[in-house]
């Protein structure tokens, strides 16, 4: 079965977010018709900064609201749904778990229920889980056959969404699969509490970057355009009738300590003279997390192609150009 993006209607939830905007750009470049389910439209927003706001059809609504999901599916009849809408910040989840559960858990089943009711003509549904869904394991890297054993609110919310999504395939035959991505970085991330954009903003303003942890946690950092390729390849595979009900890790398998990343960012900004402000106050986070991407390579032909130094250079250049703060 041939799969093409040209003239295909694609619903993207969370389209005005960091990954969502980059996915919209790739879909538009491929000739797709993009329907963006948008709850808030901050100024500036990532879609606006990337020059995409007027190129997508925006549907105002939240995934927690079943009527908004129903309207988007019924009126625009997308054949592909990419579900990214979520509360994505670990610190916010720690302070406000109920709102995070509403967005990440209720929002997922509300959208999938709308998809189930409008499954005719639906070729693919890709749901964003996270490496955080695995929780803490003694053995690393995470593989897709590891059990999900999260402990903290954000991690629990993503594990629930992950299980719900795959349950909709096994129970109802919905053509759904799940991505479990490493920490994403790239231009357009406007959540300044995250380590990459926060450090870049501080460096370009001549300020010491703040590190909320003690700098030792180890993570896997994936450039956003590599993640976009993974999403599109998985959607194409679902559209061809493969990998329904599956989950795929998208990561580099090249773990890095937070403090080492901060120094790499400062170097990319030309501000190696700045000393990070290490606060050691972060709570509700796992010390070591990184992914084994072997399955995605074997089944989807996907690999992370962007070296960290290249990705950071592109990211810093984006912020230098746009100055979104």
User: How far, in Å, CA of 27 to CA of 80, rounded?
Assistant: 11
Length of the chain: 325
- Burial (CB count within 10 angstroms: exposed 0-12, middle 13-18, buried 19+), residue 205: exposed
User: How far, in Å, CA of 87 to CA of 89, rounded?
Assistant: 6
User: How far, in Å, CA of 257 to CA of 3, rounded?
Assistant: 40
Per DSSP bridges, beta strands 247-250 and 183-185 are unpaired
The answer to whether residue 142 is catalytic is: no
Catalytic residue among 76, 134, 142, 154: 154
**Structure tokens given for 69:** 């999901």
3-class SS of residue 247: strand
Categorise residue 270: left if φ over 0, alpha if ψ from -120 to 50, beta otherwise: left
Alpha-carbon separation of residue 270 from 185, 244, 262, 263 (angstroms): 19, 45, 12, 10
Q: Which residues are catalytic?
A: 154
């Amino acid at each position: 079965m041939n799969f093409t993006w040209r003239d295909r209607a694609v619903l993207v939830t969370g389209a005005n977010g960091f990954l969502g905007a980059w996915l919209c750009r790739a879909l538009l470049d491929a000739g797709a018709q993009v329907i963006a389910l948008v709850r808030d439209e901050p100024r500036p927003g990532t879609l606006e900064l990337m020059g995409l706001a007027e190129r997508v059809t925006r549907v105002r609504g939240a995934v927690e609201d079943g009527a908004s999901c129903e309207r988007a599916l019924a009126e625009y009849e997308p054949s592909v749904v990419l579900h990214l809408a979520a509360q994505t910040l670990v610190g916010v989840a720690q302070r406000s778990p109920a709102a995070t559960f509403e967005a990440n858990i209720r929002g997922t089943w509300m959208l999938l229920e709308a998809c189930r009711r409008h499954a005719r003509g639906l070729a693919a549904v890709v749901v964003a889980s996270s490496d955080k869904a695995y929780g803490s394991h003694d053995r690393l890297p995470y593989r897709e056959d590891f059990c999900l054993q999260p402990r903290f609110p954000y991690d629990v919310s993503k594990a629930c969404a992950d299980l719900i999504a795959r349950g909709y395939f096994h129970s109802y035959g919905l053509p759904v699969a799940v991505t479990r991505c490493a920490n994403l970085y790239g231009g357009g991330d406007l959540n300044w509490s995250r380590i990459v954009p926060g450090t870049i903003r501080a460096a370009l303003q001549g300020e010491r970057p703040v590190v909320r942890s003690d700098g030792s946690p180890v993570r896997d950092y994936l450039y956003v355009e590599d993640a976009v390729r993974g999403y599109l390849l998985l959607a194409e595979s679902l559209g061809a009738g493969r990998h329904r009900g599956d989950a795929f890790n998208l990561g580099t398998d090249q773990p890095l300590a937070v403090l080492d990343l901060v120094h790499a960012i400062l170097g990319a900004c030309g501000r190696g003279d700045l000393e990070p402000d290490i606060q050691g106050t972060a709570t509700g986070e796992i010390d070591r997390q990184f992914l084994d991407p072997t399955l995605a390579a074997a089944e989807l032909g996907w690999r992370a192609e962007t070296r960290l130094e290249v990705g950071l250079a592109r990211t810093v250049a984006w912020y230098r150009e746009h100055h979104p703060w």
